[in-house]
Amino acid sequence: MTDDPHYVTPEEAERQDCAVRPHEYWCQGPRCMAWRWRLMPYEDDENPKTDSWVPVYSKTHGYCGMVK
């Protein structure tokens, strides 16, 4: 879906160490306050074109705001 390796699914995130406390906790993905959903800057199957000025975020991929 993306060429950026920082974007992961919540399921992939759960298999990674937490960026804040490595080796103590697993990543909590969207349950963490540092989680950021991917901003969809273009039209695709997941993000149909809209005329709205409101940003559209991915429903499947995100990243740790402490890492990127």
pLDDT recorded at residue 62:
94
pLDDT tens-digit series, residues 7-65: 999 999 999 989 888 777 889 999 999 999 988 766 556 556 666 667 778 889 999 99
| Dihedral (Cα; 59, 37, 5, 10), 10-degree rounding | -60
pTM of the model: 0.68
The secondary structure of residue 17, as a DSSP letter, is B
- State which H helix or E strand residue 38 sits in: strand 35-39
pLDDT tens-digit series, residues 49-62: 666 667 778 889 99
64 touches 29 (CB < 8 A): no
pLDDT recorded at residue 29:
92
pLDDT recorded at residue 46:
59
Q: How many helices (H) and strands (E) does the chain have?
A: 1, 2
